[in-house]
Amino acid sequence: MALRAGSSVYVIGMDAEGFLAADPLPLRRRSLAAARETARFLADLVLPPTCLACEARVAADGGLCALCWGRIAFIERPFCDRLAIPFGYDIGPGALSAEAIADPPPFGRLRAVAIYDEVAAKLVHGLKYNDRPELGRSLGAMMVRAAAELAPTADLVLPVPLHRRRLWSRRFNQSALLAEALAGAWGKIFDPLALARIRPTRQQVGLAPNQRAENVRGAFRVPTEEKAVVAGRKVVLVDDVYTTGATVKAATRALLRAGAASVDVAVFARVIGGRVVGTTG
């Protein structure tokens, strides 16, 4: 029962000895909520929220302005069930692209938020190269929706790992930030150590498809102490960009060799129709 006395609102109940007791906690909670709202308002005055891609003013943190939202090429159905390549028209459920039929990947399904274009590139580069790890939460939230159909069967969410030298220089793994966002939203196990990059590799940017594949061949392994985590599990492997797929294909093969039941892939963006400068995987 609630009782108002002056400016205070009390919750009336029985204490441990059976006597009536009054608690002004709801009022304190409202006061704290009001204080937080005031703090956010003042913070927005000093550092107003800006678009993730172009830094134009927006209503709230973690969003895109109307112009960038309209320009980003979201991948929506119909698309190839295996590689998320958009189709011009719907050819039925489970339809596969010519690429998926001619060269089936070792993973089951790929899901992506958007085509890798100018806006998507700004978002990925901001996360990866401009020291903006906070973008991981926003891009990860978009991936939660785009890859939602992978969640029901997933047991384990893993990032494509960086070699320790690159991790040391960059200070964080952008794929791990994205994977952590997915695992948290889906309530799945997140283990950034279950897959390791065991040798340094060249940057994939500028390499031809066959060079990309050779560059990452044998670069991944599930450590002995992590094999029990992977064995028999359905894995969702997370990366930022899918170009030719050389990186996630090599990582998938390492997971399957270690006993993973299956591997699906979730990325923020995927290249359509050829190589785009600045992409990686």
pLDDT, tens digit, for every residue of 190-232?
999 999 999 877 677 777 888 888 878 899 999 999 999 999 9
What pLDDT band is residue 59 in, cutting at 50, 70 and 90? confident
pLDDT(3) > 50: no
Strand order in the sheet with 234-242: 110-115, 262-270, 234-242, 156-159, 189-190
- Report helix, strand or coil for 278: coil
Under 8 Å between Cβ of 110 and 237: no
Question: pLDDT at residue 41 above 70?
Answer: no
Would the pTM of this model clear 0.85, i.e. be above it?
Answer: no
Q: What is the mean pLDDT of the chain?
A: 85
Is 53 within a domain? no
| 54 is a domain residue | no
Which candidate, 237, 233, 245, places its Cα nearest to that of 279? Answer: 245
Contacts of 169 (CB under 8 A, 6+ apart): none
Domain span holding position 13: 2-46
- 212 with 160, same domain? yes
Amino acid 48: pLDDT? 82
Q: How far apart are CA 227 and CA 204, in angstroms?
A: 28
pLDDT higher than threshold 50 for residue 8: no
Residue 81 sits in the same domain as residue 212: yes
pLDDT recorded at residue 131: 78
Phi, psi of 240 (to 5 degrees): -85, -45
Query: CA torsion angle for 191, 168, 266, 224 (degrees, to 10)?
Result: -40
Counting the structural domains of the chain, the total is 2
Q: How confident is the model at residue 26 (pLDDT cuts 50, 70, 90)?
A: low
Q: Clarify whether residues 41 and 81 are in a common domain.
A: no
**pLDDT, tens digit, for every residue of 162-183?**
988 888 877 889 999 999 999 9
**Band of residue 28 on the pLDDT scale cut at 50, 70, 90:** low
Do 224 and 117 sit in the same domain of this protein? yes
On whether both 42 and 78 belong to a single domain, the answer is no
| Separation of alpha carbons 100 and 116, rounded Å | 19
Say how far apart CA 54 and CA 68 lie, in whole Å. Answer: 8
Strand partners, 21: 13
Secondary structure letter of residue 225 according to DSSP = G
Q: Is residue 18 part of a domain?
A: yes
Q: Is residue 34 part of a domain?
A: yes
User: Is residue 220 located within the same domain as residue 168?
Assistant: yes
Query: Sheet of 2-5: strands edge to edge?
Result: 2-5, 8-14, 20-23
What pLDDT score was predicted for residue 89?
Answer: 92
Summarize the confidence of residues 124-134 as an average pLDDT.
Answer: 86
> What is the arithmetic mean of pLDDT over 124-146?
90
Least confident interval from 48-62, 67-81, 111-125: 48-62
275 confidence band (pLDDT: 50, 70, 90):
very low
Query: Could you give the CA distance from residue 266 to residue 95 in angstroms, rounded to a whole number?
Result: 19
Q: Is residue 189 predicted with pLDDT exceeding 70? A: yes
Strands 196-197, 220-221: pairing kind: antiparallel
Best mean pLDDT range from 29-43, 244-258, 262-276: 244-258
Could you give the percent of the chain with pLDDT greater than 90? 59
Q: Is residue 280 part of a domain?
A: no
For residues 59 and 48, what is the distance between their CA atoms, to the nearest angstrom? Answer: 9
- CB crowding 190-218: b at 16 or more within 10 Å, else e: bbbebbbbeeebeebeebeeeebbebbee
- For the segment 146-166, the average pLDDT, to the nearest whole number, is 94
